[in-house]
Structure 1
């Protein structure tokens, strides 16, 4: 009967409508693949087969085939929207089952896993903490927590050091003053005395009438300096002398008249450096003295040829001669006037003269004004514990004119140090904890002068200077008998110790010919007195001592940043000196302005624990490439991370080489050690340049975005500028993708007809590439599907018409009578 045939047609048309309607419904579904209804005719077949005139029994639905042709790309702003450009399916897991999809609408769930819209987790190959992608399939998770900091363990630098740079270091000559007066303890008067004639005392009034009876005498000065000679004095009222001398003011006027004539005598006489002084002795007694104007000089003053009335002002008349007591200079450092010859690098010689008694500080300052000469001075004295007596705590010790309380040497130490920046500039004191001795020093080489005063007889201080010379003792003497016969009475005396000078001569400069040869500051200038010294040695505070510097930022284990400064210093090459080499540089490293070299254990404590200057030899070949054989490994192994106050900040500290530190730094690191790699650095004749810098550390970072490459590798970007590999998206391919079983939600499941999946990374084998920030659109052609609707509708109508016609025929047959 044709009814069954027609019904099969209606069923087929209905299936066709469903397939086409489903395609149309999913025309905007990402990753959707359109289906096609495939039909076959139906024939009744007996055991012996069908006849040649067999009539078909209708149609049946053979298959709903899917078309896996790629859809168009729609680009989005979401980096987790993914599309496969080429073959392959995303692999997802849901509820323990594995599905495959072309729909890449992915996002993050609350745990950071990449999931699609139905919470199926995207599968891939996760990476370890170092970014190494494993070969094991698993869920891909994005860690949204802070990225833990990583301590710097390696610094890679690609530089060019200018081959035309000059060598800044030179070799000069150094010597120290070693004359036999250097540092020798000098004892003597605290203050100068002046050459003086003391007249005999008298009282007022003076009976002489100067208006009628002049007074005359001669004053003579014999001295090594100043104005010498004889000046005649004539005292009359015409010269300004009061007629009578009845009081002290009139006596002072008389002295003024005398002084006027001594300074401007009658020619041909010339002025002399002598002054008349009126002295009030108290009790109605007075005196007229004649004093040399220049103090501390062993000069001689004489008054002679006095008229008879000179006895009234305390001077004997002629033929008697009044003779002075010679002046005495205050104690000084004992250095005589001494000269040396300085010859420059062109053979020109100048003579420098250090004046008598000049301090080492003054002489060093003058030497520094000479071209090619650098001088620094210092002075030191010692007060031994056994040489300090202060019986009742009443003694005052005066240091360079500043009186200080000194119950004991420790209190004297404290009082000196409190004034080292004010009234005792540059002077410091230190008590030796073992011996109790007090050392007083001047960092600039000023004389050190000590004097004492006390209420108690016998209080004393011993002062030692040069250890090869005897010291001096000051003692308070109230009874006229010194307890120590070798001591000096303290009331008028003090002790002075002069300083020494360290002198450096520039390359090509020399000194010679000390005159006198050894007595004083400069000792004999023999070859043994000089030593070679490196000049313009590297000093990070002096830009003239290094050719170039560069800086970079590194991180400690807590993520704190620190500044590494590298200094490059070209080294001298002398073909005659086998200890030098061509194309040789030194690189010095400091961190946060501090040295980071391993301690020098040969030094005494505490210096043997302190960081030293970190310097490394860098050599280049004659073609400008880095000489890897001679260039030493650059390991920073004594860096203690510190805070802004210069205190350790709690991050991992160093492991010195002596304690096992090496260039093989473990991962994760166990110390602050790191290496600097200069691989690829060159020495060409072009400007210094930093071509590339990279270091392995970073501070704490927050997730700021994701990048997914064509190969499916997922990079997480963090606010600290770092990126980290999280894993790689996996793709699956099938031998017969049309055999996949639709599972809904634009996903398919593996079945027997599809075959087992081939899972791998994008762009491997026949697998396509990943397009991030894009979605694959449905591959439904809407125009084609609408036409298919019309065809399916007509097929349905035609099959229905067949039923209608068959019904009419059947009715006709039934109506036959």
Structure 2
């Protein structure tokens, strides 16, 4: 009967309308992927198959597939808004069960975990104590505690001592103590050049390390004296240059070693930090006929730091920035891909779960093994094309109306047969 065939057509057109309306409704849903209704014709068959002149029995909905094409990327002001440029899915954990999504509008919950709007925890590769990324997957957590201070152990100084200088007329003297009564300090007429830098003790307290350079009567020879917070710590150490203004390579490295330095506070009392050793590297110092100048001073200590911001690079590594100028890797976002993404089962909240049809997930770092890269402070928009959906809507409406006309025609034929006498 044509009634059954037309009804199957109406059901198919209704399913098409449902899919299209769902696409239009999610045109602004972050990470949403367009769905498409796919149909197949129906034939009545016997044990030996259909006859040569078999007439179809209508249409059936064979599948609703999703198109995982790239959506447009829009930029935001939130560093935890993440977009994938290329293939792959974010991996989420919901009480240990894994889900997958392209929606990257994440936030931090009260425990510091990076979560989706539904509370699912973003997964990533963990880092070890020195900030190296490991292969261990787990929840990404933002540690908001203070970054422990690091005592200064090495100071690397690059400078030039003016070879035209003459030895001072006033002896340098010492040792000096800024906390003595009365305090003592170097006479400005007793040295040729000086420079200072900040160093840190084990509690993160800053201290001032000062170096004083004194030209001696011996050609190409200098003395260097070191003071921390105005207290003599070492010296004099002798620096001997070659006639070309550089150190003899056989004498490298040239260092000033401060041993057993006891950190003091502003009152001259110990800060409570342990005594520490500091090595001052002067191997890059030169003696040319130009004014004294310091090119760079690099030291490896820092004070305690409070979390100030978060940055995520294209490889998915999340860096925490602290108020002391340091940064530290917290984790690397993991991406997952599938041999058959269309086999994934949508479960709502723009999430999918793995199925037998999709195959197991292939997890890796962004930018590797065909996976896309991460764009921070950005979101992937829905890939729904509204214009195309409206055209499809007209086609589905026409199909519905056409099948309804078939029912009307069949009804008219049936009435004619009934009215036969």
> How does the TM-score come out when normalised to structure 1?
0.48
Q: SS of the counterpart of 2:32?
A: coil
The correspondence for 1:546, drawn from 182, 187, 191, is: 191
Structure 2 residues without counterparts, runs of 5 or longer: 175-184
Name the counterpart of 2:343: 739
Q: CA deviation at 1:593?
A: 0.9
Q: SS of the counterpart of 2:16?
A: helix
Q: CA deviation at 1:591?
A: 0.8
Q: CA deviation at 1:617?
A: 3.9
Q: 2:254 aligned with 1:650, yes or no?
A: no
Inter-partner Cα distance in structure 2 for 1:720 and 1:727: 20
Name the counterpart of 2:49: 49
Q: Deviations over 1:654-713 (max 9, x none)?
A: xxxxxxxxxxxxxxxxxx223333465545544433333332222222222111111211
739 and 806 in structure 1: CA distance in 2 versus 1, 3 angstrom threshold: same
The correspondence for 2:262, drawn from 640, 644, 663, is: 640
Inter-partner Cα distance in structure 2 for 1:652 and 1:731: 45
Q: SS of the counterpart of 1:136?
A: strand
Q: SS of the counterpart of 1:788?
A: helix
537 and 700 in structure 1: CA distance in 2 versus 1, 3 angstrom threshold: closer
Name the counterpart of 1:32: 32
**What pairs up with 1:381-392 in 2 under 5 angstroms?**
none
Q: CA deviation at 1:635?
A: 3.2
620 and 141 in structure 1: CA distance in 2 versus 1, 3 angstrom threshold: farther
Inter-partner Cα distance in structure 2 for 1:764 and 1:727: 16
Do 2:172 and 2:186's aligned partners in 1 also have CA atoms closer than 8 Å? no
Name the counterpart of 2:277: 673
Q: Deviations over 1:225-279 (max 9, x none)?
A: xxxxxxxxxxxxxxxxxxxxxxxxxxxxxxxxxxxxxxxxxxxxxxxxxxxxxxx
Q: SS of the counterpart of 1:21?
A: helix
747 and 165 in structure 1: CA distance in 2 versus 1, 3 angstrom threshold: farther
Inter-partner Cα distance in structure 2 for 1:594 and 1:51: 107
Q: SS of the counterpart of 1:797?
A: helix
Do 1:587 and 1:618's aligned partners in 2 also have CA atoms closer than 8 Å? no
**What pairs up with 1:399-418 in 2 under 5 angstroms?**
none
Name the counterpart of 2:61: 61
Name the counterpart of 1:164: 163
Q: Give the number of equivalent residue pairs.
A: 411
Do 1:626 and 1:680's aligned partners in 2 also have CA atoms closer than 8 Å? no
Name the counterpart of 1:118: 118
Q: 2:370 aligned with 1:766, yes or no?
A: yes
Name the counterpart of 1:460: none
Q: CA deviation at 1:167?
A: 4.5
Q: Deviations over 1:143-169 (max 9, x none)?
A: 122223222223233x23145343526
Inter-partner Cα distance in structure 1 for 2:388 and 2:417: 44
Name the counterpart of 2:147: 147
Q: Structure 1 stretch 537-546 or stretch 738-747: which is displaced more?
A: 537-546
Do 1:538 and 1:569's aligned partners in 2 also have CA atoms closer than 8 Å? no
Q: Deviations over 1:724-746 (max 9, x none)?
A: 22111111122222222212111
Inter-partner Cα distance in structure 2 for 1:778 and 1:620: 69
Inter-partner Cα distance in structure 1 for 2:417 and 2:411: 10
Name the counterpart of 1:11: 11
Q: Deviations over 1:732-781 (max 9, x none)?
A: 12222222221211111122222222222222232222111111111111
Q: 2:386 aligned with 1:782, yes or no?
A: yes
Inter-partner Cα distance in structure 2 for 1:6 and 1:585: 103
Name the counterpart of 2:301: 697
Name the counterpart of 2:230: 593
**What pairs up with 1:528-607 in 2 under 5 angstroms?**
536-537=171-172, 541-571=186-216, 573=218, 584-597=221-234
805 and 688 in structure 1: CA distance in 2 versus 1, 3 angstrom threshold: farther
Do 2:159 and 2:296's aligned partners in 1 also have CA atoms closer than 8 Å? no
Inter-partner Cα distance in structure 1 for 2:368 and 2:247: 39
Q: SS of the counterpart of 1:17?
A: helix
634 and 801 in structure 1: CA distance in 2 versus 1, 3 angstrom threshold: farther
Inter-partner Cα distance in structure 1 for 2:224 and 2:155: 14
Q: CA deviation at 1:586?
A: 3.9
Inter-partner Cα distance in structure 2 for 1:45 and 1:642: 96
Q: 2:342 aligned with 1:720, yes or no?
A: no
> How does the TM-score come out when normalised to structure 2?
0.90
Name the counterpart of 2:182: none
Do 1:618 and 1:632's aligned partners in 2 also have CA atoms closer than 8 Å? no
Do 2:255 and 2:283's aligned partners in 1 also have CA atoms closer than 8 Å? no
804 and 676 in structure 1: CA distance in 2 versus 1, 3 angstrom threshold: farther
Do 2:15 and 2:37's aligned partners in 1 also have CA atoms closer than 8 Å? yes
Q: SS of the counterpart of 1:673?
A: strand
Name the counterpart of 1:812: 416
Do 2:315 and 2:365's aligned partners in 1 also have CA atoms closer than 8 Å? yes
| Greater share of strand | 2
Q: CA deviation at 1:536?
A: 3.7
Name the counterpart of 1:269: none
Name the counterpart of 1:292: none
Structure 1 residues without counterparts, runs of 5 or longer: 170-505, 507-534, 575-581, 598-612, 654-671
Inter-partner Cα distance in structure 1 for 2:318 and 2:36: 37
124 and 592 in structure 1: CA distance in 2 versus 1, 3 angstrom threshold: same
Q: Which has the larger radius of gyration?
A: 1
Name the counterpart of 1:86: 86
